[in-house]
Amino acid sequence: MHRRLTLASAGVVAALLLTACTGGAGEAEPEPAGSPDPDASVSVRLVLEPGNLNVRETSGAALDQILIDNIYQGLVTRTPEQEIEPALADDYTVSTDGLTYSFTVREGVTFHNGQELTPQDVVWSLQTAKDTPAYVDSDRLAKVSSITAEGQVVTLTLTEPDSQLLWTLTGRAGLIFKEGDDTDLATAANGTGPFTLASWRQGDSIVFARNDAYWGEPATSAEIVFSYIPDTSAAVNAALAGEVDVLTGFDATLAERVEANGDFEVVTGPSTDKGTLAMNSLTAPLDDIRVREAIRRAIDHDAIIEALGAGETLYGPIPPLDPGYEDLSDVVPYDPEAARELLAEADAEDLDLTLTIPSFYPTTIPQVLVSQLAEVGITLEVDSVEFPVWLQDVYTNRDYELSFVLHTESRDFENWANPDYYFTYDEPRVQELYAQSLVATDEDEVAELLSEAARIVSEDMAADWLYNGASVLAVANNVSGMPTTNVNSRLDAAELGKS
Amino acid sequence: MLRYALTRLALLLVGLAVASVLIFATLRVLPGDVAQLIAGTQGTPEQVAAIRERLGLDAPAVVQYLDWIGGVFSGDLGSSLLTGTPVATELLEKAQVTVPLGLLALLVALAVALPFGVLSALWRARAAGTAVNVAAQTLAAVPVVWAGMMLVVVFAVWVGVLPAQGFPRAGWSDPAAALRALVLPALTIGVVEGALLLRFVRSATLDAQGRDYVRTAAAKGLTRTQALLRHGLPNVGLSVVTVLGLQVAGIIVGSVVIEQLFSLPGVGRMLVADVAARDLEKVQGSLLVLTGFVLIVGFVVDLAHRVIDPRQREAA
């Protein structure tokens, strides 16, 4: 099946001071006094800048985060709470056999260049997405056999049910473009969203301007400036000097510093970020399930959350925001004594292991792992590598022992059903359950099948899930409408305002 | 003189040719590639191969090198593999930040080094001289990043008179704002570089003090200080010019760090991002231009030396 992984730099920069974060998960955003100024320019700090803006051909969470919903739209979209709702379709129906999807395309929608959206544009966009393997997520439309338009209604016919299809249409593969448009998507954009792309200064900022011809509720602010400030202290200083209004990807342990002058508040929201410790089970000693279990039992997950200052524990591949979540903490409770016994049983005492980690992650996680694994006699060597090197060695060649990556993508259980993925996990029962979940037409049944599969993955010690990350933001007191859920994946700026 | 200039020019060109091969070769040694980054972690090997072919990365290295160099000779530095933007366009845009930053930093360095360097030599027997010297030693040892952070905390966060980071989006169309954005970064590089330069000026001045011509001038009735200022300093200036030439490279390297720290959209930050994204076409074009720039500065400094210092002309 398809393989997918998106990365975001965690909001967890160097372990400085352990200060308590003010917000609990899901805390409501602060309500500022005064109503938002329609002429305001709101400045948002982001961490990872996209290499180019071609959302059809270039992968990476940095593009999804800002372009989808704000600039480009699909027939349907997802709310921060991961619900699916109509967007460019004002209505849709799914046949009971799950084989026919009918979307009524909204009328009166124009692209940023003034051209009108037609049902033919929808057909063309989805058809080219399906037919062009080089496009991101193209293979996710594999079960679609025909795409036709009649009047305002676009109909997708499937060869077999696909419980993921609507979700797919809220993502890259479902975005609608103007047929025959010659915009250079690498540096410019022409979508239907509430914002137009005003400018992109590479290495600095991307600016969105309110689309006054927008078909829906107009954006609250005249302008949103996304400033790419990778350096954490530069970001905090910029906030304190009043140069940015919102910091995303914030380090919860720095809450006290940014809140010191009373202009900012640190808020957290749930996310689908999964801090994943992959274990290569193709090579010794990690091919022994006892060794993998020992590693998981040796890790004090609560201590990791404490070191990060935010987030929740997670003991399986599905986070609470996704269908199929189940609390799996009973599978491997923290127990260093049991870990030592397991290692002795596996004849793997005094183990030396290497952790390969992309260098843009902060050192907190490796530090905690080194000291916790040392407790049970495992010497962990940390190999911090540039992302292209990680892609080559770990992802493509699967040449690694342990690897840490923050997987931000929602509903990405498929990776555990794909033996070719870098996780190296190959379990027919899981693959079968996942396949069943795809053709199931009932949501509850889908969730049940996924949760059963997820338990098997966890019980097989396929990996360890160090934590379920939180969206950590520092928001200025005069800012309203900042989404707080899952902003590493999607940052809908339509309601973002400043008074 | 003409013969010297021509020989020196030939050396410059050979230097550039060697640099182009080195740049090209070292970049090819880096593991990982841009095609894989574009395809991301969903890309099948076939997709990665297709992207590689589209970008011309599947050609043999020699062919790629000749393509590149051929382009350079016809005035085409290549374009970004990711966005297709010409390297020259990007460099010009980023140079609008980095060049003024470098010049300002150089000014600050000179303003620190020249007066205090000479004074610390003149006052070497006094407490004030020792104080200047110790201060310079300390400043020269300060990490640039730390110095920058301190300046930001004081002037941007506490006092709030200068921006903490970034460069105005309007660029130099608002010169005052653009200049304000460069003050703290230029001070950061300038003070540290200036402290290094100061020690050089000091020893050059001390050296000049012991020279015959200064002593002769003193014997003719000038005070030692007068003799030094009138006859010694021109020679000090000459050696400072040489060191400044070397410092250009230092300032370019320093700008990489400073531009990260202050989130300035300059050449240094661009290079770091391009290397991380394996946008090799852009990196090699930019590096070649930078190398050429440093080599030309060296060339100019050498020629200037010949012009200013008659003794070198005779020696040739």
**CATH assignment at residue A176:** 3.90.76.10
The count of residues in chain A is: 499
Q: In this structure, is residue A141 part of a structural domain?
A: yes
Q: What share of chain A is helix, strand, coil (3-state, %, to 5)?
A: 25, 25, 50
**CA atoms A18, A20, A26, A27: torsion sign:** negative
Residue A139 corresponds to which tokens in the numbers above?
Answer: 């293979």
Q: In this structure, is residue A301 part of a structural domain?
A: yes
Distance from CA of B276 to the nearest CA of A (A): 7
Residue A37 DSSP symbol:
P
CB contact under 8 A, A234 and B164: yes
Q: Is 60 exceeded by the pLDDT of residue B314?
A: no
Q: Is 60 exceeded by the pLDDT of residue A409?
A: yes
Q: Are residues A115 and A244 in the same domain?
A: no
Assign A405 to helix, strand or coil: strand
Residues from chain A contacting residue B261 (CB–CB below 8 Å): 231, 234
Q: Name the residue in chain B with its Cα closest to that of A204.
A: B265
Q: Are residues A366 and A380 in the same domain?
A: yes
Q: Are residues A283 and A320 in the same domain?
A: yes
A193 near A224, Cβ under 8 Å?
A: no
Q: Is 90 exceeded by the pLDDT of residue B305?
A: no
Which residues have CB under 8 Å from B159's CB, separation 6+? none
Pick from A230, A240, A388: CB nearest B31: A388
Assign A430 to helix, strand or coil: helix
CB contact under 8 A, B167 and A204: yes
Q: Is 80 exceeded by the pLDDT of residue A53?
A: yes
**% of residues, chain B, pLDDT over 70:** 98
What CATH number should be reported for the domain holding residue A215?
3.40.190.10
Residue B300 corresponds to which tokens in the numbers above?
Answer: 């100019």
pLDDT in tens, B173-199: 999 999 999 999 999 989 888 888 888
CB contact under 8 A, B164 and A201: no
Q: Are residues A88 and A169 in the same domain?
A: yes
Distance, CA of A229 to CA of A48 (rounded, Å):
8
Q: Is 70 exceeded by the pLDDT of residue A81?
A: yes
pLDDT in tens, A83-111: 999 999 999 999 999 999 999 999 999 99
Q: In this structure, is residue A46 part of a structural domain?
A: yes
Name residue B238's amino acid.
Answer: L
Which residues 226-255 of B have a C-beta within 8 angstroms of A? none
Mean pLDDT check: name the lowest of B192-196, B204-208, B214-218: B214-218
Identify the band that residue B137 occupies on the pLDDT scale cut at 50, 70 and 90: confident
Q: What is the pLDDT of residue A33?
A: 57
**% of residues, chain A, pLDDT over 70:** 93
Q: In this structure, is residue A300 part of a structural domain?
A: yes
Q: What is the pLDDT of residue B316?
A: 45
Q: Are residues A165 and A227 in the same domain?
A: no
Assign B30 to helix, strand or coil: coil
Q: Are residues A260 and A179 in the same domain?
A: no
Among A269, A297, A313, the domain boundary falls at A269
Domain containing residue A292: 274-468
Q: Are residues A187 and A199 in the same domain?
A: no
Q: In this structure, is residue A384 part of a structural domain?
A: yes
Residues from chain B contacting residue A234 (CB–CB below 8 Å): 152, 164-165, 260-263
What CATH number should be reported for the domain holding residue A432?
3.10.105.10
ipTM over 0.90: no
Among A176, A191, A206, the domain boundary falls at A191
CB contact under 8 A, B42 and A240: no
pLDDT in tens, A117-167: 999 999 999 999 999 988 999 999 999 999 999 999 999 999 999 999 999
Q: Are residues A72 and A131 in the same domain?
A: yes
Q: Are residues A234 and A182 in the same domain?
A: no
Top residue of A140, A204, A244 to mutate, by most chain B CBs within 10 Å, is A204
Q: What is the pLDDT of residue A17?
A: 27
Mean pLDDT check: name the lowest of A1-10, B46-55, B96-105: A1-10
Top residue of A182, A237, A418 to mutate, by most chain B CBs within 10 Å, is A237
Quote the distance between the C-alpha of residue B288 and its chain's center: 14
**Exposure of B221 by Cβ count < 10 A (0-12 exposed, 13-18 middle, 19+ buried)?**
exposed
Q: Are residues A232 and A325 in the same domain?
A: no
Q: Are residues A138 and A100 in the same domain?
A: yes
A380 near A424, Cβ under 8 Å?
A: no
For residue A285, cis peptide bond before it (omega within 30 degrees of 0): yes
Beta bridge partners of A103: A92, A154
A5 near A449, Cβ under 8 Å?
A: no
Q: In this structure, is residue A492 part of a structural domain?
A: no
Q: In this structure, is residue A473 part of a structural domain?
A: no
Q: What is the pLDDT of residue B211?
A: 80
Report CA-CA distances (Å) from B209 to A349, B124, B224, B278: 70, 12, 8, 53
A62 near A48, Cβ under 8 Å?
A: yes
Which residues 140-179 of B have a C-beta within 8 angstroms of A? 149, 152-153, 156-157, 160, 163-167, 169
Q: Is 60 exceeded by the pLDDT of residue B315?
A: no
Assign A97 to helix, strand or coil: coil
What is the tally of structural domains in chain A?
3
**Exposure of A150 by Cβ count < 10 A (0-12 exposed, 13-18 middle, 19+ buried)?**
exposed
Q: Are residues A220 and A245 in the same domain?
A: yes
Q: In this structure, is residue A490 part of a structural domain?
A: no
Among A159, A176, A191, the domain boundary falls at A191
Q: Is 60 exceeded by the pLDDT of residue A5?
A: no
